[in-house]
Amino acid sequence: MSKTTARRFTVLAAGILAALGGIAATAPAEAAPSTKSSCTQNLLCIWSDRNFDGDFTTTSRKAPDWNDLPGAANCPDETFNDCATAVWNNTVYTYRLYENVGYKGKHIDICANWAGNLPPSWNDRASSSKMLRDGKSKTCL
């Protein structure tokens, strides 16, 4: 191969690599995994896995049916119904989680600003939630 042909090949290869790099640079980035820092103030934040990992969603005030909460791609039926393991109540109010949709069945209260893994008896059990605006629960996490 002559020096001129080799030089043309090198320039052509560099151009192709630059073009491919430009395409890769403009491709949409994958979403960063949610972490505890994803939870903004005044929301109840919910994760499908322990230690603020896995699928993530938020709700405020009332959520009568966690089947309607978005973001549960890796949960059964792709809903948060019976798929919550960690929560952060990033509000000044207590939240009540219910075992059934429509605020029915047994419940557990999550104190204001509490963050952590739900007790084993509540892992993958909650199906609805609402904010208790009338004060704090006497027994909450």
Fold of 39-132: Gamma-B Crystallin; domain 1 (2.60.20)
Q: Is the distance from CB of 86 to CB of 47 less than 8 angstroms?
A: yes
Q: What is the pLDDT of residues 64-103, one digit of tens each?
A: 999 999 999 999 899 999 999 999 999 999 999 999 999 9
Cα–Cα–Cα angle for 71, 74, 79, rounded to 5 degrees: 50
Q: How many helices (H) and strands (E) does the chain have?
A: 1, 8
> Is 24's pLDDT higher than 90?
no
For the entire predicted model, the pTM comes to 0.74
Could you tell me the residue ranges of all domains in the chain?
A: 1-30, 39-132
Amino acid at 37: S
Encoded tokens for 140: 């909450």
Residue 50 scores a pLDDT above 50: yes
Query: Alpha-carbon distance 103 to 55, whole Å?
Result: 23
Q: Quick check: 123 pLDDT over 90?
A: yes
